[in-house]
Amino acid sequence: MSTPKGRHMIKIPKNMEVVALQLPSAKRYQANLDTLLNYLHTYQDKDIIIAPEVYLTAYDYEHLSTAAKFSAKALKTLKQVVDEQIVVLTLILEDGDEFVNQAVVIHKHKVVHRQDKVKLFKLGDEDIYLTAGKEKKIKPFMIDGVKYALLICFELRFKDLWKQIEGADVVLIPARWGLLRKGHLEILSRALAVMNQCYVLLSNSSDADMASSSAIIAPTGNVVMNDGEEVVEGVVDFREIKKMRRYIVMD
């Protein structure tokens, strides 16, 4: 069969090498950016790198305007650096007179997907300082023939949002999830991978009061996780996705 004029067949690779960073946030924003840039350089051969939620600034509510300005500047730097890789993180950014926690997916020097956090965590006062995004914006998106979806931290708890991202091959979860609820994070992220028959890439903060638990989770539920490391490496094997979806048909 010939390819329609003006269209190109996209060949999805058999696997992608991926990295979930598990980092503490230093008080100096620039130190965090330097660390991230160093890891991007070290792992420039990897296909996907995901960083914890608001890693560059944490939730620095006392200096939100400063955090937002730094994040905007950092995003320009990251776009210059990121080429063939897919890099995922969330940033505190200004939206008019308000502030949002926005996930950005950077690829080939561009932001190819933006998504504001919809479910703000009231125990952490997020709803006081930040503006929530729109739920309809949470949906799968394509990069080079692969279907991705993204949930930010607390959003992992909402079954309606799981429904909105059904069919994604890879779900990206940048998080800043507390240590007291570590078991919940591990159970929910693994359940999402099994239910959706997809890979889940989870990057969580390793600050002292955070859960760590960063992981690469396969559609089978198998987990690559190591709380003692700043980098969790794994492989997204698209044959595993096809195998599970053919073996256990969910229609």
Of 18, 29, 44, 8, which is closest to residue 202 (Cα–Cα)? 18
Per-residue model confidence (pLDDT) at position 10: 57
Q: In what order do the strands lie in the sheet with 231-237?
A: 110-116, 98-107, 86-95, 48-50, 15-21, 231-237
d(C-alpha 5, C-alpha 71), whole Å: 42
d(C-alpha 173, C-alpha 142), whole Å: 16
Q: What share of the chain is helix, strand, coil (3-state, %, to 5)?
A: 35, 30, 40
Question: Tokens 């995003």 belong to which residue?
Answer: 75
Helices (H) and strands (E) in the chain, counts: 6, 12
Per-residue model confidence (pLDDT) at position 181: 97
Per-residue model confidence (pLDDT) at position 40: 98
d(C-alpha 207, C-alpha 87), whole Å: 21
Per-residue model confidence (pLDDT) at position 27: 96
Mean pLDDT, each 10-residue run in order, the chain (251 residues): 44 87 98 98 97 98 97 98 97 96 98 98 96 97 97 98 97 98 98 97 98 98 98 97 85 71
Residue 203 · residue 196 · CB < 8 Å: no
The CA-atom distances, in angstroms, between 66 and each of 28, 62, 96, 192, 205 are: 12, 9, 15, 36, 21
Confidence (pTM): 0.93
- In the chain, the domains with their CATH numbers are 16-247 (3.60.110.10)
Per-residue model confidence (pLDDT) at position 184: 98
Per-residue model confidence (pLDDT) at position 6: 42
The CA-atom distances, in angstroms, between 45 and each of 19, 40, 41, 49, 233 are: 10, 9, 9, 10, 12
